[in-house]
Amino acid sequence: MDNMSITNTPTSNDACLSIVHSLMCHRQGGESETFAKRAIESLVKKLKEKKDELDSLITAITTNGAHPSKCVTIQRTLDGRLQVAGRKGFPHVIYARLWRWPDLHKNELKHVKYCQYAFDLKCDSVCVNPYHYERVVSPGIDLSGLTLQSSAPSSMLVKDEYVHDYEGQPSLSSAEGHSVQTIQHPPSNRASTEPYSTPAMLAPTEASTTSTTNFPNIPVASTNSTTTWTGSRTAAYTPTIPHHQNGHLQHHPPMHPGHYSPEYWCSIAYFEMDVQVGETFKVPSSCPIVTVDGYVDPSGGDRFCLGQLSNVHRTEAIERARLHIGKGVQLECKGEGDVWVRCLSDHAVFVQSYYLDREAGRAPGDAVHKIYPSAYIKVFDLRQCHRQMQQQAATAQAAAAAQAAAVAGNIPGPGSVGGIAPAISLSAAAGIGVDDLRRLCILRMSFVKGWGPDYPRQSIKETPCWIEIHLHRALQLLDEVLHTMPIADPQPLD
C-alpha cells in the first residue's frame, strides 16, 4: 500500500495513512505540505466511522468531481471555524483551498443546491466536500477555470487591512443568519482571446432586462484599450470596444428627450466615522470623470482632495487610514447617468451599490462589494434605478390604498379577520417612504477598511474614511416619479 499510485484509488476500508497519501496527491499546492497533511489526516480520522461519507470524499477528490458525491460532514464548532496546525479557518474553505482553488477567499464560496449540510445552512454538521461548492468571485461568474493575474501583492488579494491576517479574526457571519456579505471584484489585466460574447453586445434596451440571471454590463466607449469586466454571466473578460464601434450606446436617446441635464452630475460628501468633514463637493456635468484622492492639493473641478480636510475630532486610527487612501478612486459618469468606478489606490475600496447587489442576485443593501486596486467596474445603472423607483413608488401607493381599504373592512376574503390581517401584511410595503427611494440614487464607498461580517465594523459609519455620492440625474428622475405618482401616507389605524 505504501507505493500506492494515484490510479490505485483507496476505499474507506483502507488504512488512514493510505487514504491520506492518495488524497495528498490531488492537493493544489497553495498550502505547505505539512499543513495539507495535517488537515487531510484530521478529516480522514473524523470520517473513519462514517464510511459512506469517506468513500464520497475519496470519489470526489480522486475523480476531480467528475462523479456525483454525497455530503462529507464534520461537526460544526461554536464559532464555525476549524483549527489545523495552529491556524483557524472555515472548514469548507480550508478543504476547497486544498483541493480546488489555492487562492480562494472565504467569501467566494456558494453551495450547490443539492448540498444538505452546506456551511451557510447553519446545520450542526458542515459539509466540506469541495465539489459541493462553487466559486463566485463576482455576480454569477465561476472562476474555477481562470487564474487571476494581478500586479497587486498577493497579501492584498485576501483582505485589505494593514496587517495581512488571513482569516485571523473571527467572522461575525457565523453568528448572523442574514448578515451583509462582502462580494469580491478583482481587476482583470489580460485581454480576452475569445470573441466578444453575445450578452455583452446587446442593445441597451435588451441589456437592461429585469432578470437577475443575466444582467450584463455593456462595455462602453473608451479612448484606450484597457480591459474591463463585462459583469455578464459569460465568465469572459472582454476589452472595451473602440469608440467608433460603440456608437449605439453613445447615441442612445435620453429617457426624457426634453429633460434638462443637471448642472452638477453628482455631489460627494466625505465622512470620518459618522461625522461629515468639510463641505459637500459638487462635480460639474462638464467634468464626467472626477478623482477623489488622499492628497493635499486644493480641490476643484474634476478633483476632490481629502488630504487637506481637517477634523478636530480625528483619531489616530482615522489618521492612519487616511494615509492609505493615496490615489483614491476615479468616478466616471457615462451616457445619461450610469456610473463606473476605477480603483487607483493601492488598497481596495468597499462599495454599497444596489446595482451590484442586483447583479449578484442579492437583495438591495444585502452585500458590500470589494473593488480591488486597478479594477474598473460599473456601480450604477440609471435605467435600472428609474425602473426600481417607479416599481417601489407604485407598490407603496397601491399598498397604502389597500391598507386603508382593509382597515375600513372593504377587503373580504379568507385571509381577512375584520380587515385586520391584510392591513398587517401590507404595512411593510405601505411604509416605503421618500428616504427609501432616495437611497436608490446614492452610492457609498469606504477607503481601505471594509465593514460587514468579515470585519470588526458593522456599518459604513464605523469606517474611518468614506464618501457618500448623490447622483443628481437619478434624483431628478425621482422627483418626476414622485410628482406623477405621489406616495399616499398610510392611513392611521382607528
How many CB atoms are located within 10 Å of the residue 122 CB?
14
Q: 131 falls in which pLDDT band (50, 70, 90)?
A: very high
Q: What pLDDT shows up at residue 137?
A: 62
Residue 200's nearest CA partner among 248, 159, 265 is 248
Reading the block at residue 20, the C-alpha cell is 491520506
In a 13 Å sphere around the CA of 471, the CA atoms on its Cβ side amount to 30
Task: Dump pLDDT digits (tens) for 18-51.
Answer: 888 888 888 877 777 888 888 999 999 989 888 8
Looking at residue 285, its pLDDT comes to 94
How far is the C-alpha of 318 from the C-alpha of 75, rounded, in Å?
40
pLDDT averaged over every residue in the chain: 73
Cα 485 to Cα 489: distance, rounded to the nearest angstrom: 12
DSSP3 helix / strand / coil % (the chain, rounded to 5): 30, 20, 50
Distances (CA, A) of 172 to 77, 111, 455, 457: 14, 19, 8, 10
Q: How far apart are CA 424 and CA 403, in angstroms?
A: 8
Would you say 57 and 40 are in contact if contact means Cβ atoms under 8 Å apart? no
Q: Please choose, from the candidates 36, 47, 61, 40, the residue with its C-alpha nearest in 3D space to the C-alpha of residue 130.
A: 61
Q: In sequence order, which residues have a C-beta less than 8 Å from that of residue 186 and are 6 or more positions away?
A: 137, 138, 148, 150, 157, 372, 375
Q: pLDDT value at position 426?
A: 54
Mean pLDDT throughout 311-321? 93
Per-residue model confidence as pLDDT tens digits over 415-431: 444 444 444 445 556 56
Distance CA 422, CA 413 (A): 9
Q: What confidence score (pLDDT) does residue 32 get?
A: 79
Task: Give residues with Cβ within 8 angstroms of 381, minimum separation 6.
Answer: 208, 338, 355
Highest-scoring range by mean pLDDT, 6-15, 115-124, 169-178, 484-493: 115-124
What is the structure's pLDDT at 429? 61
What pLDDT is recorded for position 366? 81
The C-alpha atoms of residue 359 and residue 2 are separated, in whole angstroms, by: 50
Q: DSSP 3-state assignment of 121?
A: helix
Q: What is the largest CA-CA distance in the chain?
A: 83
CB atoms within 10 A of CB 223: 8
Q: Each residue of 361-379: pLDDT tens digit?
A: 888 888 899 999 999 999 9
Q: What is the pLDDT of residue 17?
A: 83
**Backbone φ/ψ region at 476: left (φ over 0), alpha (ψ -120 to 50), beta:** alpha
Where are the strands (E) in 302-389, listed by range? 303-305, 329-334, 338-343, 349-352, 367-371, 376-380
Q: What is the pLDDT of residue 64?
A: 85
CA dist 268 and 70 (Å) reads 51
At residue 289 the predicted structure's pLDDT band, cuts being 50, 70 and 90, is very high
| pLDDT value of residue 230 | 30
Q: Please, which pLDDT band fits residue 259 given cuts at 50, 70 and 90? A: low
C-alpha 204/C-alpha 159 separation (Å) is: 35
